[in-house]
Amino acid sequence: MAKIHGETSGTGTGSGGSPARGTGSSTGSGEDTTADVDESVRNELIELRDSIDNIDAAVVHMLAERFKCTQRVGRLKADHDLPPADPAREARQIARLRELAVSAKLDPAFAEKLLNFVIAEVIRHHETIARA
């Protein structure tokens, strides 16, 4: 189950106590907190949560593609004795992503935190490649 800005996607209870797609929200105890909600509201929640699930899947696939590229960058850097981190490039990327966030009406501080998290993982991968 993924949390994005407080919304939990893929909610409800499925087999084995696991969340079922779009069937209410889970309180952690497996109870459906939308049981007393109007049917039209429940249906809208299901549709929105299905959209969130699809977006989460797309984000995971896009990150996987990004990491495939950064792995190639790491091998290239290692082959040419370049350092795993590139602070100037990272600063440019952060500034660029903050601008994109503003234009997308996303909190730029959140976008920066996300990119810093991704960059830290990329550098860790590059260091591992360099040691190999």
pLDDT digits (tens, 9 = 90+) for 38-91: 999 999 999 999 999 999 999 999 999 999 999 999 999 999 999 999 999 999
Domain boundaries, the chain: 39-131
- The pTM assigned to this predicted structure is 0.70
Q: Looking at the predicted structure, is the pLDDT value of residue 1 above 80?
A: no
Which CATH code, of 3.40.50.300, 1.20.59.10, 1.10.645.10, 3.20.20.70, is assigned to 39-131?
A: 1.20.59.10
Q: What percent of the chain has pLDDT over 90?
A: 71
From the DSSP assignment, how many helices (H) and strands (E) are in the chain?
Answer: 3, 2
Q: How many CB atoms lie within 10 A of CB 47?
A: 11
3 state DSSP class of 26: strand
Nearest-Å Rg of the Cα atoms of the chain is: 20
Burial class (CB in 10 A: 0-12, 13-18, 19+), 9: buried
